């Protein structure tokens, strides 16, 4: 036992080392110091009013809650580690792209199955169209492109990623 343990750590150590291996002790020193005696019984026994069982149930619930909080904390740490690991993998494939006004860029098209875009269908449909000229920088990662009249219904501001 360490001198720096708090109540929760002491309760966990008691539960792990004593109760788990030997069960609940028949004579608890703390109860005798307070002037009470421990009578082992069940809640259905007519000689008791169930107060002891209620206290034991409350203590067990508190111990379970402490264990659950610790498990949730461990799960959150593992989730954070997994997210950081996945982010590091994704960051390896990312690159900072910056364009200036007048540059020519290709526009990525997401092909959909069965939809005919740009005169081709299926495997032969284009993944990129263009090149189109950058006319303006809208934000840190958004650019306005000069699109042909055939793409007049498409919004001309695109995010770069």
pLDDT band at 134 (very low <50, low <70, confident <90, very high): very high
Q: φ and ψ at 107, to 5 degrees?
A: -105, 125
What number of other Cβ atoms are within 10 A of residue 132's Cβ? 19
**Domains of the chain: total:** 2
Determine the pLDDT at residue 81.
94
Asked if 156 and 145 touch (Cβ cutoff 8 Å), the reply is: yes
pLDDT at 146 over 90: yes
Of 42, 67, 93, which residue constitutes the final position of a domain? Answer: 93
Are 82 and 135 contained in the same domain? no
Using CA atoms, how far residue 48 sits from 17, 95, 104, 135, in Å, is: 29, 73, 87, 86
Are 16 and 87 contained in the same domain? yes
Whether residue 47 lies inside any domain: the answer is: yes
Whether residue 98 lies inside any domain: the answer is: no
Whether residue 135 lies inside any domain: the answer is: yes
Q: Give the range of the structural domain holding residue 22, as residue numbers without chain letter.
A: 7-93
Q: Check whether the bond before 107 is cis (ω within 30° of 0).
A: no
Would you say the C-alpha torsion 67, 72, 76, 78 has a positive or negative sign? positive
Whether residue 1 lies inside any domain: the answer is: no
Tell me the C-alpha distance between 134 and 145, whole Å: 5
Q: With 0.75 as the threshold, say if the pTM is over it.
A: no
> What value does the mean pLDDT take over residues 105-134?
75
Determine the pLDDT at residue 139.
87
Of 93, 128, 147, which residue constitutes the final position of a domain? Answer: 93
Higher pLDDT, 17 or 58: 58
- pLDDT > 90 fraction of the chain, expressed in percent and rounded: 20
Higher pLDDT, 31 or 4: 4
How big is the chain, counted in residues? Answer: 161
Determine the pLDDT at residue 157.
93
Average pLDDT, the chain: 77
Q: How crowded is the C-beta side of 130, counted as CA atoms within 13 Å?
A: 17
Which class for 129: exposed (0-12), middle (13-18), buried (19 or more C-beta within 10 A)? middle
Are 85 and 149 contained in the same domain? no
Are 16 and 86 contained in the same domain? yes
**CA dihedral angle for residue 118, residue 120, residue 125, residue 126, rounded to 10 degrees:** -40
């Amino acid at each position: 036992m360490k001198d720096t343990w708090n109540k929760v750590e002491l309760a966990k150590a008691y539960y792990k080392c004593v109760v788990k291996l030997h069960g609940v002790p028949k004579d608890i020193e703390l109860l005798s110091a307070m002037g009470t005696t421990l009578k082992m019984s069940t809640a259905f026994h007519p000689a008791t009013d169930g107060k002891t069982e209620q206290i034991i149930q409350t203590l067990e619930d508190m111990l379970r809650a402490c264990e659950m909080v610790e498990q949730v904390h461990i799960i959150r740490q593992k989730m954070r580690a997994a997210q950081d690991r996945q982010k590091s993998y994704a960051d390896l494939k990312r690159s900072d792209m910056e364009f200036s006004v007048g540059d020519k860029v290709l526009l990525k098209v997401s092909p959909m199955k069965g939809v005919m875009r740009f005169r081709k269908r299926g495997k032969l449909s284009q993944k990129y169209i263009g090149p189109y000229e950058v006319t303006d920088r809208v934000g840190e990662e958004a650019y306005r492109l000069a699109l042909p009249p055939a793409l007049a219904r498409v919004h001309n501001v695109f995010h770069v990623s």
